[in-house]
Chains A and B, each alone.
Chain A
């Protein structure tokens, strides 16, 4: 499923709408950066409650499809996302709920 469709289906708030036509292959949930570095794979959506700018580097290095934060990202995080071309969204839902809905979308 394309990222643009995931964003629409999950009702995500857009902070940086990059790579919207890219295919999303899965998801990864985690708040520990090294865990994401070890476990996430490219083209996955990363769901996290971390909102500081360092998450952008992790997503860029791992070539993730997008980050979805379950809290409002810091202003500097949005600036970095735009600079690095990392797709960044947020949601008012819990990580549990947004993960479940993403899983249903990708593996119905």
Chain B
């Protein structure tokens, strides 16, 4: 396995596989001997990314690249996009339907969690096109968590 960067595809609606990528990334980073606090932050960001693509998008990709001092995670999806980013980043705000909520997703904490566990966080979205997120987590001395 190439452990310095990996690429994953996610299919919208595929709830059965939610968490599969984040568990795999967590194992890969553990095998590299990265600090546990770093791994925990990456695990949350990647899990929420998976959950968001599955819950809201048609399809998407998750990539991560490890460099000397940080991990950069890119999340790009194609789908409905987010009309109001400031609302979407508020804890508790959710547009999830009953099916998604019934499975325990749609708490309105996915994007807030991703931002909270990232050391740098950027998000762009276009309605009816999709959403792009870039999350950076420092390998040493990150301030969050």
**Which A residues contact B (CB, under 8 angstroms)?**
31-35, 37-38, 48, 50, 52-58, 60-63, 76, 84
Contacts and interface: CB of A to CB of B under 8 A. Distances in A.
Contacts of A38: 44, 109, 112-113, 116
Residue from the set A33, A35, A84 with the largest chain B CB neighbour count within 10 Å: A33
B20 A57 contact: yes
A62 B16 CA distance: 19
Contacts, number: 69
Q: DSSP class of B's interface residues: helix, strand, loop or mixed? A: helix
A34 B51 contact: yes
B65 interface: no
A54 B14 CA distance: 11
B43 interface: yes
B: interface residue count bin: 20 to 34
Contact of B16 (A31, A35, A53): A53
A84 B24 CA distance: 11
Nearest to B21: A57
B110 A34 contact: yes
Interface in B1-51: 15-16, 18-20, 22-23, 26, 40, 43-44, 47-48, 51
Interface in B105-130: 105-110, 112-113, 116
B104 A57 contact: no
Nearest to B112: A38
Interface of B: 15-16, 18-20, 22-23, 26, 40, 43-44, 47-48, 51, 103-110, 112-113, 116
Given A33-B104, A38-B116, A57 B109 contact: no
List the 6 closest A-B pairs by CB distance, nearest first. Answer: A57-B19, A32-B107, A34-B109, A61-B43, A34-B107, A33-B104
A55 B47 contact: no
A34 B96 CA distance: 13
A61 B44 contact: yes
B109 A35 contact: yes
Residue from the set A34, A35, A53, A57 with the largest chain B CB neighbour count within 10 Å: A34
A33 B105 contact: yes
Nearest to A34: B109
A62 B26 CA distance: 10
B102 to A, nearest CB: 9
Given A32-B107, A84-B23, A61 B47 contact: yes
